[in-house]
Every structure is written in structure tokens, then in C-alpha cells.
Amino acid sequence: MTIDRLSGALLILLGLFVLWERRVLPLGNASQPGPGYVPLILAVLLLIFGVILIAQGKGSKPLRSLSWEEAPHAAAILGCCLFITVFLETIGYRITMLIVMGFLFGIMERRNPWWLALILAVGFSFGTFWLFDSLLRVPLPRGGWGF
């Protein structure tokens, strides 16, 4: 099994999953597409690129040749995603992102001096909130404290 072939198989599985989940959304027509239109296009593209990866994947590196030196970073990012999923609605976007960015910059990346990690975490969490909520008018969760 090669890296590309495994990646292609995963893309095909993801495409099939998106196709399955899209079935509840109306498709619409070409002049007025419904909410199921973009997921359908996404699923078809995932399937096409998955097949291409599998077909062209015989020349890639074997799966066993992968080194997992970045596994701690991957686990930390996955943990942060789980944290965001659980706490975003409860404590709000700004505080959730402040905690996650503080962890990633301060602990995982070890930004020195510590105040630089704090500035980056505050800047990203509050800056993205301002961008999306105020400028782009995308409502983001404010949490139980309204913050």
C-alpha cells in the first residue's frame, strides 16, 4: 500500500459520505441551485481526485516509510478541534479561540517570549471575531456570558 493510494481511498470514502449526507438537501436546478448543489459538486470532485490518486499512486512511497515525528503536533491539533467542538457554543468563539491559540502558540510552538504568544493568541481570537462577526456579518457564538 502506498501513501497516494491510501489517500485516494480515503478521499473516495469521504466523497461517498458527502454524497450520502447530501441526499436530504434539495438539489434545485441549474438556474436556481439548492443547498445540496455545492456538496454534490464537492463529493464528485472528491471521488474523481480519489480515483486519480489511486490510479497514479503506484510510484509513491510505501506507507511504511512514513515517519511520525510530527505526531505530537497532529494530536495537539486534533485535541484542539475536539475542544472547539465541545466548548464553542458554551463559552463563545473569542474565549474558545483564545484558549486554543494560546495553547498552540505558547505550549506547542513555544513562542518566546511568552508575551508574544499572548499577543498572537489575543490578536487571532479577537481579530477573527471582529472580521467575521462585524465586517462579514457572520454570526459567531458568544457563549453563556454574551462574550
Give domain limits for the chain. Answer: 3-65, 71-135
Model confidence at 70, in pLDDT bands (50, 70, 90)? Answer: confident
d(CA 52, CA 33): 28
Residue of higher predicted confidence among 25 and 77:
77
d(CA 124, CA 137): 18
d(CA 82, CA 140): 18
Coil, helix or strand for 141? coil
Q: Is the peptide bond before 139 cis (omega within 30 degrees of 0)?
A: no
> Does the model's pTM come out above 0.85?
no
Predicted local distance difference test score (pLDDT) of residue 77: 95
Q: What is the DSSP letter of 62?
A: B
Residue of higher predicted confidence among 19 and 62:
19
